[in-house]
Amino acid sequence: MRKEIERAILLLGKKDPKSLEDALELLQGTVFSFSMKVCGQRQDAEDTIQEVLVKSPPYLGRFDSPRALLVRLYRVAKNRCLMSRRRSKFAPKQDLSLDRLMPDKLELELLSMEGPATPESQAIRNQKARQLREAVQKLPPKYRIILVLRDMEGLNHDEVAEITGL
């Protein structure tokens, strides 16, 4: 489990305003990182984090498990991102199928080859990372959320299922 979530649980257990403020500060980074990956736009992610953290304090004291807190925060952020994504001017006009976005065999082989670190190879890696971020943003939200939770946030299948309701 993430150290900042565990630390936030300890702070929330103190039940004083300063500890609550410190806990919210720790949670802010986690929620923002997740929201950026799911929403894809900084403004949408900032709106999400604001709403999640403003609405959360009355419920935060109820959590004694880092896992339960993380699931709750991700679930609320996921719902907010999906709502803001539907209204966003950045939302894609149509959903693309996962099959259309997947690289073919040759592209996968090229992506998996790595050589020594040079300025050129670093520039290529940066370009590939940008392309990957763009491809993730093109995924329909239901696929993107699962990918982000499982492969980017490192949650297990049960946690992903609990957050997504799938």
Q: How far lies 7's CA from each of 38, 76, 94, 95, in Å? A: 24, 20, 41, 39
- Could you list the pLDDT tens digit for every one of the 166 residues in the chain? 578 888 888 888 888 888 888 888 888 888 888 888 888 788 888 888 888 888 888 888 788 888 888 888 888 888 888 887 555 555 555 555 555 555 666 666 665 666 566 787 778 888 888 888 888 888 888 888 888 888 888 888 898 888 888 8
pTM: 0.62
